[in-house]
Chains A and B, each alone.
Chain A
């Protein structure tokens, strides 16, 4: 596996900077989840990103490329490190502000808007390249779905823990 497909350029420097920044933000945030829950949040973001990249992002659909081109490089793997802190921040804010159900839709829409903003910056810096009629607007559907599913899974696990606590009492 090569380090980069072409030259080590602006997009590679940007990704390294973004990874350091996002993990720096994660390290500064209070750790409000258990170790198991934190690992599940990280794993969820890596798996969903991997699924999208290796299904709609790969031939025959081939709607986008990451970094320099279609080849799978070390820097493509580095891009995956951007997702876990973002997912953690999403659930952290959800928990910290105890988002009520009536505001949940607005919370997810706000976070989708933030995610689109981050993706737009990544696109401008040459991290994502849209192909075959794809554009950033279609990512809205992906973010809405992924973030909603994360909340559903989180609440599903919370209900389970609450049931277990009742049983032990």
Chain B
């Protein structure tokens, strides 16, 4: 059931990101950048938590591990990418609401994962998860703004050049 749960969530978020897209929020390059970056960071962070520090123990049964892979490398990257696009392009009131939604989803999925035995905490707890995901979001937003700044400015219309 947990595999279906994360597959459906990942599919839904991918649908939102692909079809509920406004060019003003982000170009295709920017969206692709967000998805790739969030996936890269989250995948390697969990690897560090499991393999290097051994603060969390992951499931060893293939079915649960597949659900965990969907959570770590599909749902979270697409969800955080979608949220980043909206956070960057909204008023501060909406930003607070989105931020609260983010915290709710992070705490909710963390509890579901522990309850479903996707992983077990060794030297880790829900508070550590929240701190990690706050840093994660902050880093992604900063990287996104940096990437936006790399875009080559469009050449002005010939008639506009030199106009006062």
| Interface assignment of A121: CB less than 8 Å from any CB of chain B | no
Contact of A153 among B32, B48, B51, B61 (CB under 8 A): B32
CA gap between A55 and B39 in the complex, in Å? 13
B73 touches A51 (CB 8 A): yes
| Interface assignment of B151: CB less than 8 Å from any CB of chain A | yes
| Interface assignment of A133: CB less than 8 Å from any CB of chain B | no
Measured between beta carbons, the chain A residues less than 8 angstroms from B55 are none
CA gap between A54 and B47 in the complex, in Å? 7
| Interface assignment of A126: CB less than 8 Å from any CB of chain B | no
| Interface assignment of A93: CB less than 8 Å from any CB of chain B | no
B52-74 interface (Cβ within 8 A of A): 52, 58-62, 65, 69, 73
Main secondary structure of the interface of A (DSSP, over half): helix
A36 touches B51 (CB 8 A): no
CA gap between A63 and B158 in the complex, in Å? 58
Q: Number of residue pairs across A and B with beta carbons under 8 Å?
A: 75
| Interface assignment of A1: CB less than 8 Å from any CB of chain B | yes
Contact of B37 among A43, A59, A153 (CB under 8 A): A43
Among B27, B28, B39, B58, residue most surrounded by chain A Cβ atoms (within 10 Å): B28
| Interface assignment of B160: CB less than 8 Å from any CB of chain A | no
| Interface assignment of B161: CB less than 8 Å from any CB of chain A | no
Contact of A44 among B36, B61, B69 (CB under 8 A): B36
| Tally of A interface residues using CB under 8 Å | 28
Number of contact residues on B: which range applies? 20 to 34
Main secondary structure of the interface of B (DSSP, over half): helix
Measured between beta carbons, the chain A residues less than 8 angstroms from B43 are 47, 50-51, 54
| Interface assignment of A138: CB less than 8 Å from any CB of chain B | no
Contact of B62 among A40, A60, A70, A153 (CB under 8 A): A60
Per-residue B-contact encoding for A1-23, CB less than 8 Å = 1, 0 else: 10000000000000000000000
| Interface assignment of A157: CB less than 8 Å from any CB of chain B | yes
CA gap between A61 and B68 in the complex, in Å? 13
A60 touches B60 (CB 8 A): yes
Interface residues of A (CB under 8 A from B): 1, 34-37, 39-40, 43-44, 46-47, 50-51, 54-55, 58-61, 70-72, 153, 156-157, 160, 164, 168
Top 4 A-B pairs ranked by shortest CB distance?
A43-B36, A160-B28, A47-B40, A72-B51
Q: What are 5 A-B contacts with C-beta separation under 8 Å?
A: A39-B147, A50-B39, A71-B52, A153-B32, A156-B28
